[in-house]
Chain A
């Protein structure tokens, strides 16, 4: 494990208050992810893996325990601060791509820079560069509806990378893709990881998990197995 962990969870618990009894989704989760690691989180549906990813990505807060993100204790974060962290530290890739349907591939990729206040011309230029990296420069002005699933996910990855995050979080990134496209995408993610970006991928597919360096299995909200 590297010197400075990007992610350090200690005794993290999470409840959902649905109905009468609170649902205990995460139970005393301890997890450390070092800089540059490529980690997958597996588990059946309801095991808490997506919740864990949301907590890691500051999209959701935890109820008990501590979370250090790149050495910073995440606690009572204001929405504004959380947005800043998400913008500067973390990139997201989702199963359903979550591209804005009315924006072109280029504009989707450039969006995080819009929220950093980068001027339009400059951010479009940078976005074009990232589009080139995912091999889609000829699709710059296509709308998401004009792209295939694999292309959409590559656009989403480019968008996740444009703000130069330290951490890339992917929630079932291959869930909507066929196997061949899935493997191509995993190759792309591995190549990005090789450039030093820490990556946590949630998946329920063993062959996808097998393409990561470390597999963490969650069961009933606990870390069941952690290893390669």
Chain B
């Protein structure tokens, strides 16, 4: 469209302000909703990704409870206890295990003192690899290591809440704390993104925990990561682990209560799949809304053509070619959709930005964003949409016979 044609189009649109703005509103609304929905979808997705950030998503968790089916002459209800040898067996027999740790929960919380300061904290025995599975961040000092394990040393790695309660602003490294009557030396300080609860823990070597708290060689659960294994491989690893442990404990391999094996990757994958679905759904709804806007534009353009039969007839009588009439109507449709769409896009992005800034921290929606590509796609979509909306009315206008228009006058 030439500049002259553009000017002509603007003039015509400006002449009918109410109709133009109502039409524009429907498209603006469509794009606005599309942007908001996409941002909400992204926000939910980010929220879940954030929830997973403090755990390795490629991990398999094993927990044991009581048998629920009879097996090899033993009745149900028999408790199954995992121990350190199970961990050794898994490392030996399941190929692909990357990091592995057991957990020993010391019944608590236990009273912990240092000088006059005292507070209750949860105490957990674990292997050195634990830090990778929980994505624990070492703030200072170090995490538990193999020497601690071998020597069953009384060392502790403490969370920020523990430091604050017992040491205030003092550096806790190398200092002793007393956990329920036993002295431990603080060797490290950790941070964890999992929330307040995970900052109130004290980690000690699992070998020490078993010794001090009369656990023999028991572990409460076992976690290991599967490295770069795909979903199929990790599923196979989970199955294999179950078989090995079932055999070691004379449990039916089908007893899902006695041995609970959870593949985090499947959980993560499931949730991400849900979000992919949500994303598709959001696009569908958004495009649907936009489509309604397009139909609205088309509809109003048709009415507009109807109303302007005389005008179009006159234009044709004084030499407007059908092509120029089509250009005129199409130009109007594209201009309306483009301008109003852009307005809707801007309003949508502005709204999302406001939300992002003032959204109170919560567990579900985080960092709602729309990326630039989506905006560009939306704009391209709009121009196409405008042209689509214009096609029908434009063809109708081009078919107007000047005689008919004139006779109507």
Contact = CB atoms under 8 A, between A and B. Distances in A.
Interface of A: 54, 57, 59-60, 79-80, 83-84, 86-88, 92, 94, 96, 98-100, 102, 111-112, 114-116, 119-120, 159-160, 163, 171
B386 to A, nearest CB: 22
Contacts of B316: 83, 86
B281 to A, nearest CB: 45
Given A59-B402, A87-B318, A98-B317, 16 more contacts: A59-B317, A59-B406, A80-B321, A80-B323, A94-B409, A98-B314, A98-B406, A99-B314, A100-B311, A100-B314, A102-B11, A102-B15, A112-B319, A115-B315, A115-B324, A160-B318
Interface string B207-220: 00000000000000
B8 interface: yes
Contacts of B310: 98
A36 B311 CA distance: 30
Contact of A115 (B11, B15, B319, B401): B319
B260 interface: no
Given A54-B403, A98-B406, A80 B317 contact: no
For chain B, give the interface size range. Answer: 20 to 34
Contacts of A111: 315, 318
Contacts of B401: 59-60
B320 A115 contact: yes
B4 interface: yes
A159 B406 CA distance: 16
A59 B403 contact: yes
11 contacts: A57-B317, A80-B323, A83-B319, A86-B316, A86-B318, A87-B318, A94-B409, A98-B310, A115-B315, A115-B321, A160-B318
Contacts of B318: 86-87, 92, 111-112, 115, 159-160, 163
A171 B407 CA distance: 11
B322 A94 contact: no
B4 A119 contact: yes
Interface string B141-152: 000000000000
A120 B402 contact: no
B9 to A, nearest CB: 12
B319 A163 contact: yes
A106 to B, nearest CB: 14
Nearest to B316: A83
B7 interface: yes
Contacts of A114: 4, 8
A126 to B, nearest CB: 14
Contacts of B317: 57, 59, 86, 92, 98
Interface in B312-336: 313-324
A160 B318 CA distance: 8
Nearest to A171: B406
Contacts of B15: 102
Contacts of A96: 409
Contacts of B324: 83, 115
B319 A88 contact: yes
B4 A83 contact: no
Contacts of B319: 83-84, 86-88, 112, 115-116, 163
A172 to B, nearest CB: 11
Contacts of A99: 314
Contacts of B409: 94, 96, 98
Contacts of A57: 317
7 shortest interchain CB distances as A-B pairs: A87-B319, A83-B321, A115-B319, A96-B409, A59-B402, A79-B322, A112-B318
A115 B324 CA distance: 8
A171 B409 CA distance: 12
Interface string B269-301: 000000000000000000000000000000000
A79 B399 CA distance: 9
A115 B409 CA distance: 23
Given A114-B4, A114-B8, A120-B7, A83 B403 contact: no
Interface in B356-409: 398, 401-403, 406, 409
A84 B8 CA distance: 20
Nearest to A120: B4
